A = this chain, B = another copy of it.
């Protein structure tokens, strides 16, 4: 773990990822765009380049992560204490923005490597949550930990296991993480894991 990421850098990355900067210029030629209906029958105003005619679309992004669990009965869950904004110092499941060229499961595994440095086996998709307000879809996979040694990267202050009763429910970074954790422990009690689809207000 390290605390080298200074507050300015954490904040600027946060600003980009949570609120993409306004699209004012064409990504192809740099000319200032105008917002209008495109000529192709589209019914929404888009950023259109008056020079090269490129139409720029903005679409929701996926956040992918895991619920890494330890023990024969999966009684403990690995949480990471965030070293980045937003929610610096709060606890989260390992997760982050899906990258080009990877599947949702590959992205979830990469984020688990980066944020927890854990040894694990990927399991089934567990939760799919729409966060329409910020243009995001969050997807969590279950993962079975193979060791209790963690080697978290620079985005994590501390990574540790929690039983259900130990989880710091008031210190959880995001509603999607809280909802996923609640469903994990519910399903564990039932002895059967489903795929949970929900909308987060």
Contacts and interface: CB of A to CB of B under 8 A. Distances in A.
Interface in A50-76: 53-62
Contact of A57 (B97, B130, B137): B97
A30 B25 contact: yes
Interface string A17-31: 100011111111111
Contact of A137 (B38, B42, B62, B124): B62
A60 B128 contact: no
A168 interface: no
Interface in A104-160: 104-106, 124-125, 128, 130, 132-133, 135, 137, 153-155
A44 interface: yes
Nearest to A4: B41
B24 A25 contact: no
Interface in A6-52: 9-10, 12-13, 16-17, 21-32, 38-42, 44
